[in-house]
Amino acid sequence: MSTATETLARAADTARLAPSVHNTQPWRWVVQGSSLSLYAVPGRQLREQDPAGRLLLVSCGAALHHARVALDASGWTYDVARSAGDGSTTADDATPLAVVHASQAGPADPGAMRRLQLLQVRRTDRRVVSDEPVSAAVREALVAAAGQEGSRLHLLTRDQVLQLAVVIEHAGDAERHDERMRAETAEWVGGDRPSGTGLPDTVIPAELPLTTVAERDFGVSGNLPAGSGHDEAAAYAVLYGDGDEPSDWLRAGEALSEIWLAATEHGAAVLPLSSPVELDFTRQALRRMLGEVGYPYLVLRLGTTDPDHAGPAHTPRLPVEQVVEILD
Ligand SMILES: Cc1cc2nc3c(=O)[nH]c(=O)nc-3n(C[C@H](O)[C@H](O)[C@H](O)COP(=O)(O)O)c2cc1C
């Protein structure tokens, strides 16, 4: 039987697999005895595209959820105290965003082990979606997954998808014409990425597909064959919630990870589209699309991808020694 410290260290190691904006992995973990603390790493915040730290905290929330799934699978009981946004700055590196306390070892749970395996195969797939839409039952499961983690998922109507296409085009134009944003993207995207962060060429489409809602234009061509289809069969959704504070963003990340886990279980592909939440004017436009009933955190494309062709490779991760510190 593993000790609490070993189990928590393994959970933090698993959390390296979490999705993060531009694969910045803006988190670090400290294990001490039976507690595991999650910290933001302000040095990996996108200062131009994410000045408030919204996407940084969504990313850290996804990592926290990954650690929770790993702990569920271990059989240990635990509780989580979240403190993001307690009057501290959003991306402070001295105040933990959350502290997990492990209390008691128990038998491993097969259902939770299956969820852990799903996190290990999850990845961002930027290929065009196939003609097979995500079924109504699966869409409902994804809405329920968001609700389970305290956020909400709004599936856009056909008219709203057309509005989204315009909003995304405006966000893309604004970011393309901003030299500092372009430079920031170039810092994180393209090439081999031997450092273990950022997006390598292998996961970036060789050519941007012609779709109603544009995928993010990273300004470089990768070598992922994206396919020649359209996005007719894709569904688009907005992840949103009642508040727009750091604590809401962390919870949104936990919801994103739960949604993605459910989608992976049902063979659906998720592609986050964050450019419309990065700019004030497009974020306001998204909020109006929600009827101003909540605050948007992220746009998601939901679809199924061609099962006969291998998807993109896994995106690299930072080595565990750089992310997880074990104190005596
Ligand atoms: C908050 C957030 C925002 C993201 N925004 C985008 C985006 O706008 N476009 C995109 O192609 N991928 C986006 N991604 C996906 C990341 O690039 C991806 O998670 C990361 O490169 C790690 O790769 P993986 O998900 O395959 O493990 C986003 C992910 C997160 C968590």
For the segment 102-161, what is each residue's pLDDT rounded down to a tens digit?
999 999 889 999 999 999 999 999 999 999 999 999 999 999 999 999 999 999 999 999
Lining residues, ligand 1, CB within 6 Å: 19-23, 55, 58-59, 62, 123-124, 126, 199, 216, 271-275, 298, 315
User: Using an 8 Å Cβ cutoff, are 192 and 203 in contact?
Assistant: no
In a domain, 197, yes or no: yes
129 found inside a domain: no
240 in any annotated domain: yes
Find the 277 Cα to ligand 1 centroid distance in Å: 13
How far is the C-alpha of 24 from the C-alpha of 187, rounded, in Å? 11
Residue 29 sits in which domain range?
4-121+317-327
126 within a domain of the structure (yes/no): no
Does residue 161 sit in the same domain as residue 286?
yes
In this structure, the answer to whether residues 195 and 275 fall within a common structural domain is yes
* 8-23 pLDDT, tens digit each: 999 999 999 999 999 9
Query: Quick check: is 311 in a domain?
Result: no
Distance CA(79)–CA(75), nearest Å, equals 13
23 DSSP 8-state letter: G
Residue 310 in any domain: the answer is: no
Give the amino acid at 326.
Answer: I
User: Are 159 and 264 in the same domain?
Assistant: yes
* Same-domain check for residues 299 and 323: no
DSSP β-ladder status, 295-303 and 324-327: unpaired
Provide the number of structural domains found in the chain. Answer: 2
Q: Tell me what pLDDT residue 135 has.
A: 97
In this model, does residue 90 exceed pLDDT 70? no
| C-alpha 33 – ligand 1 centre gap (Å) | 33
Q: What is the CATH number of the domain that holds 142?
A: 3.40.109.10
